[in-house]
Structure 1
């Protein structure tokens, strides 16, 4: 999709006051933003995502403004809403993103029309698949504009229905993108059935996840990368609770050997990850285990699907988003994560840091 050449738009970045109600907003903003927009902006504490207002000056005040947020460690900016002169606000946010070297701007479809988004150079995002507990929270529509080139091909998005089934969902999303699984068959039954096959109770560790993928789809090439032979994801447990899960992990390694799933005892490098997802003519995906400490503020292991790359960032699908911080599916879908951030957040553990990944190659 060709991007309109942006006009030079003067803009200013104004701090956003987390939790501020509509009455606390500057008069310049209340003149151009409706009460329902300001109510939505102040309904949650967006502080974890560095909320800010990108404003465009006008006669006697602001001609336009946009509330902009983003997860830490990522390479995108999200427009929650643009108010006033909407085209000017969109141009200002795009300029803001380009000046900061961000790969992408996304726009939640609360108030913007498809026509106005297209006129600003934004393409519509695919609506998310119905989640296991109903439609994902957030707007029904969303839009994306890559700051350079065409970005990457867009997969389907599905939100995990539990706090522990992220590994199963990323594997299913990879197979949907590869054409092995029909999008309409990705539902809670499929999610929990694959999780049951892969789980180390309740988490999915890398070898068990790789084995479950091979069992479910024998024609798919699967490789596991894990730079330790010790049990993983058990630092929070001790005694018998740790030991019986370690037994299951040893059993998964025996299953991998029996099924011919390679378990490489080394770290998958970021360069290798990028090479895998960028390979021309191949449909390769990396299920990557990361900590949510950077993006969400709590050090919990979590699986994401790496499926593409742009300069300076790897593009992932995150099957979970934090509604308490104002996130919607637009934050978690087609998400560019800065290379250095992804490299750091995918090293997990205590004193000894390890990286776990599952590479799936085609059907």
Structure 2
């Protein structure tokens, strides 16, 4: 068989009648870098094709749909996908052809539960090829809920080593609760269970934590640390804040509303008072990316304030949670799933970000500031495999 890789979405005509998701091939926005890999016998018709996408600046490729005329053709296509990812990882200088296309550290297969292309034989092939069927996420956004038409199963393959840690994936269910979900994920991972598998009280947990930490509507780093500390009484898990400014933050939208601005300045001053009473360390300095990586390697979970512009073309402040390192990539859980642009929890539960990308996005404001919240693991035992 011969293979062909091309940017953009190109469902071969000879396979169109086999696709139950033909519309998805026309729906991936250009910003998410759609691409098509097809396989055929010599110059004959295409036997299989895969539509892929990924966020710019992130080191993964996600298979959105596969159309194949047989299990044999499917197996050949998966092999070629692995070869393409491995070749890119072996030949890239760490930034890919452009800075927006880093070398891939992760290959994902997203399978829509309501229109699955994975027969039992194909699932067996994925297992034999080294893919792992990811455990279900915490019910939250549509793609995580088993009873929703948008629900997906996810299979992952890391060309090098896999993460040794994970956090229960929960997608934020409002536009403003990214900080709350980030902190709750860290708390859950370090021993203060917050989310439940049946999802019955998860939304209430998300909203309650946001109400404790918010400055209406944003969650600043000190407020997150205070709310997290109040969630448990373990001194070994006292969070700490590294913030490059000693001024109030995330108040840019209130610059021309002095009354609203003053209220939020007062709220942040009160948070500092409570942080002092709770013994939460606050350091005012610009933390570099190597130090963030070292904190994660040491077993901490690190909430990072970022600018979403580079990742999803949305100029908004946002919180993500770094929880492991694979190679040089920081593996993060991003609570925001941009479903309108084709994303599901597959894109966000284990998002690998190269150091240059983290440095690019981990800043906000004018003048820029950087903020992280470090959530210690409290001495919980775990061991790295690398």
TM over 0.5: yes
Which whole-Å CA distance do the structure 2 matches of 1:179 and 1:254 have between them?
Answer: 26
> Does the 8 Å contact 2:187/2:228 carry over to 1?
no
1:139–1:117 Cα change, 3 Å:
farther
Offset of residue 25 of structure 1: 4.4
Question: Match of 2:20, SS?
Answer: helix
> Displacement, 1:83?
2.1
In the other structure, the counterpart of 1:275 is 294
Q: Describe how 1:1-363 pairs up with structure 2 within 5 A.
A: 10-17=2-9, 25-30=11-16, 34-42=18-26, 44-59=27-42, 60-84=44-68, 85-101=73-89, 102-110=104-112, 111-113=117-119, 114-131=123-140, 135=145, 138-181=150-193, 183-184=195-196, 187-219=202-234, 220-238=237-255, 239-279=258-298, 282=299, 284-350=300-366, 352-363=367-378
Alpha-carbon contact 1:157-1:333 (below 8 Å) kept:
yes
Secondary structure class of the residue paired with 2:318: strand
Q: Distance in 1 between matches of 2:269 and 2:214?
A: 13
Other structure's SS at 1:195 match: helix
CA distance in 2, matches of 1:193, 1:183: 12
Q: Secondary structure at the match of 1:225?
A: strand
- Mean Cα deviation higher: 92-101 or 202-211: 92-101
**Which residue is equivalent to 2:92?**
none
Deviation (angstroms), 1:251: 1.3
1:277 partner SS: helix
Single out whichever of 190-199 and 180-189 deviates more from structure 2.
180-189
Deviation at residue 125 of structure 1 after TM alignment: 0.8
For 1:66 and 1:45, the matched residues in 2 are separated by: 13
Structure 1 residue 107: deviation in Å?
0.5
Following TM superposition, by how much is the alpha carbon of 1:182 offset from its aligned partner in structure 2, in angstroms? Answer: 5.2
Q: Is the 8 A contact 2:241 2:282 kept in 1?
A: yes
Give SS of 2:176's match: coil
Structure 1: runs of 5 or more not aligned: 1-8, 18-23
Q: Distance in 1 between matches of 2:168 and 2:353?
A: 18
**Displacement after TM superposition at 1:15 (Å):** 2.9
Show CA shifts across 1:17-42 (max 9, x none).
5xxxxxx8442442xx6231212333
| Aligned equivalents of 1:278, 1:127: Cα separation in 2 | 25
State the alpha-carbon separation in 2 of the partners of residues 178 and 115 from structure 1. 34
C-alpha separation in 2, matches of 1:143 and 1:355: 34
Please say which of residues 81-90 and 326-335 is displaced more in the overlay.
81-90
CA distance in 2, matches of 1:297, 1:12: 29
Change (3 A) 1:132 1:25: closer
What number of residue pairs does the alignment pair up? 342
> Structure 2: which 5+ runs fail to align?
90-103, 379-386
Q: Is the 8 A contact 2:15 2:47 kept in 1?
A: no
Distance (whole Å) between structure 1 residues aligned to residue 13 and residue 315 of structure 2: 40
Aligned to 1:21: none
* RMSD after superposition: 2.0
Task: Find the aligned partners of 1:335 and 1:11 in 2 and give their Cα distance.
Answer: 28
- TM superposition score normalised by structure 2: 0.83
